[in-house]
Amino acid sequence: MSKKVRVRFAPSPTGGLHLGGVRTVLFNYLFAKQNGGDFIVRIEDTDQTRFVDGAEDYIFKTLEWCGMVPDESPLHGGPFAPYRQSERKANYRKFADQLVADGFAYYAFDTTADLEAMRTEYKTPENPSPQYNHSLREKMRNSISLSAQEVTNLLAAGTPHVVRIKMPLNDTVSFNDMIRGEVSFNTAQVDDKVLLKADGMPTYHLAVVVDDYQMQITHAFRGEEWLPSAPVHLLLWKYLGWEAEMPQWAHLPLILKPDGNGKLSKRDGDRLGFPVFAMDWTDSKTNETTVGFKEHGFLPAAFVNLLAMLGWNDGSDQEIFTMQELIAKFSMDRVHKGGAKFDYEKAKWFNHEWIKKTPVAELVDHIKILFAQKNIAISNNDLLAKVIELVKDRCTVLPDFISQSSFFFEMPATVDIAAVKPKWDDKKNMFFTELIRAYELSNQWESHDLEREFKELSAANDLKPGELMLPLRIMLVGGKFGPGVFDIAALIGKEDTCKRIKDFLSLMQHS
């Protein structure tokens, strides 16, 4: 009689979603779907000072792009609504009060200035960050140090106050992490965290416990940075009397910056020149846009794939997985403990593999949009499909299709004359003049026909085809790149092929 699996992703709407966040979603999602469970998104917006407009919308757009649709969320609704903590505000106070009544928490009236003073006063070289804990709480202004009468008066006077957990003096709290195994803490080492803020909002610590309980979350996955506060959460589950319902925890390893150490941040992407956010994010205050994987030209399947491989593998040599395969094969006990440095080169390799793997028909729409953005109208989808088929192997990100194939749809923007000029002579000039005539008369316009005619003509002129193919490429493409020249000629057609050769010839004459 195991309960239905319910997992949740609980972002705070403070900006774009980065790699680590999306990977946390992914692992949640994979685990839920594998177990036929529900994937819930809960918005943790308890800090009103950090609220950023548009961030929530961005989160849902990102999830949609990645193909991870929540079963319940503020956007999708669900039986446990509301799914925004700010809208659940009224819900938390009673639990905080209950904890106080039961002696597990207390009211604290210290002002910000009081706290600062305490930190300065007790700061020593051995203890650079003094904590509001068992040794100091008696010295502060709270319902433990103050008399019952004073507390009643302060409360009655509406004095701003917070509720803090009263950490036991010397207890051991331990739990079994799905990734790390047994982890334990001495409660003397953890401070009396604030549970309810002066504005009546819960902090993360209270909210996560209350909401996970009320939303019947069975498995709670989050980043490793939460490990130190786990004992607070564990104790809260116990103090609130919900221990039997507590979810299983898993603390995911961090994604690290590629160079040096530390966790990957948006800044690293800016600095090293690669995306860190899933999609473009524009800061509404500075109007600065941070580029995302989507806009950088990654396929969602590739993005999901590369994220999954950062800290997980199925034990085989397989690296390319579809979402369906991931759902089938994912297992929490194969998730790594250690953090992984993000390698953008490998990320591009995943995308390249996915571009090669994705059917042309699915690529057409994406690429058509990219061309439209460059003001290149594509009228012929059939031609576009053939072009994509021809160049996809050499594209690692979507915009590569533009540089690799724009010449199919318009005259080359620039022509690399310098590549041809030094070895150019009258014989070659004559050859191409004849080639135009031959091609114009040609009634076969297939790649192999064009190549045959080209070679016959070069033999007749006593020229080596090798010396002529690069010039032809430059004429048609503009540079030293692209698929086979005759494949190109075949696709751009007789008229354009001849015109480009003619144009080049006259360009040579005038330069």
Partner RNA sequence: GGCCGGUUCGUCUAUCGGUUAGGACAGCCCCCUUUCACGGGGCAAAGACGGGUUCGAUUCCCGUACCGGCUACCA
Binding residues for RNA restricted to 196-225, rule: CB under 7 A: 197-199, 201, 203-204, 224-225
Binders of RNA among residues 65 to 124 (CB under 7 A) are: 110-112, 115, 119
Q: Which of 128, 158, 273, 422 binds RNA (CB under 7 A)?
A: 128
- Count of chain residues binding RNA (CB under 7 A): 84
**Cis before 82? omega within 30:** yes
DSSP secondary structure letters along 432-490: HHHHHHHHHH----SHHHHHHHHHHHHHHTT--HHHHHHHHHHHHHSSS-SS-HHHHHH
481 sits near RNA (criterion: CB under 7 A): yes
16 sits near RNA (criterion: CB under 7 A): no
Binders of RNA among residues 291 to 320 (CB under 7 A) are: 309-311, 313, 315, 317, 319
Cβ nearer to RNA, comparing 385 with 470: 470
Secondary structure class of 162 (helix, strand, coil): strand
Candidate list 266, 341, 368, 386, residue with the active-site label: 266
Q: Which of 139, 238, 267, 356 binds RNA (CB under 7 A)?
A: 356
Please state, in angstroms and rounded to a whole number, the distance separating the CA atoms of residues 430 and 498: 14
Q: Which of 219, 292, 483, 500 binds RNA (CB under 7 A)?
A: 483
Cβ nearer to RNA, comparing 91 with 229: 229
386 sits near RNA (criterion: CB under 7 A): no
51 sits near RNA (criterion: CB under 7 A): no
Annotated active-site residue 266? The verdict is yes
75: tokens are 């956007």
Cβ nearer to RNA, comparing 130 with 385: 130
301: tokens are 């399947």
Burial class (CB in 10 A: 0-12, 13-18, 19+), 422: exposed
Pick the piece of the chain touching RNA (CB under 7 A) from 150-158, 238-246, 277-285, 329-337.
Answer: 329-337
74: tokens are 């503020």
The residues near 111 (Cβ < 8 Å, ≥ 6 apart) are 160
The residues near 87 (Cβ < 8 Å, ≥ 6 apart) are none
Min dist. Cβ of residue 338 to RNA (A)? 3
183 sits near RNA (criterion: CB under 7 A): yes
Helix, strand, coil in percent for the chain, rounding step 5: 50, 10, 35
261 sits near RNA (criterion: CB under 7 A): yes
Cβ nearer to RNA, comparing 9 with 80: 9
Binders of RNA among residues 161 to 180 (CB under 7 A) are: 162, 180
Q: Which of 38, 56, 191, 212 binds RNA (CB under 7 A)?
A: 191
Interface map 240-259 toward RNA (x if CB under 7 A)? -------------xx-x-x-
Secondary structure class of 42 (helix, strand, coil): coil
229 sits near RNA (criterion: CB under 7 A): yes
271 sits near RNA (criterion: CB under 7 A): no
Cβ nearer to RNA, comparing 32 with 206: 206
81: tokens are 């609504």
Please state, in angstroms and rounded to a whole number, the distance separating the CA atoms of residues 255 and 308: 12
Pick the piece of the chain touching RNA (CB under 7 A) from 43-51, 98-106, 241-249, 432-440.
Answer: 43-51
Binders of RNA among residues 432 to 451 (CB under 7 A) are: none
Min dist. Cβ of residue 274 to RNA (A)? 13
The closest alpha carbon to 83, from 173, 207, 231, 234, belongs to 207
DSSP state for residue 157 in the 8-state scheme? T
Q: Which of 5, 6, 12, 212 binds RNA (CB under 7 A)?
A: 12
426 sits near RNA (criterion: CB under 7 A): no
Residue type at 35? N
Burial class (CB in 10 A: 0-12, 13-18, 19+), 464: exposed
407 sits near RNA (criterion: CB under 7 A): no
Cβ nearer to RNA, comparing 200 with 241: 200
Min dist. Cβ of residue 76 to RNA (A)? 20
Cβ nearer to RNA, comparing 36 with 333: 333
Strands 340-341 and 105-108: unpaired
Task: Residue count of the chain, please give it.
Answer: 511
364: tokens are 């057409």
- Say if CB 468 and CB 454 are below 8 A apart: yes
Q: Which residue has the tokens 């990645």?
A: 66
Pick the piece of the chain touching RNA (CB under 7 A) from 181-189, 280-288, 289-297, 437-445.
Answer: 181-189
Give me the sheet containing 105-108, strands edge to edge. 105-108, 162-165, 194-196
Q: Which of 36, 79, 158, 338 binds RNA (CB under 7 A)?
A: 338
54 sits near RNA (criterion: CB under 7 A): no
DSSP state for residue 3 in the 8-state scheme? P
The residues assigned a catalytic role are: 266
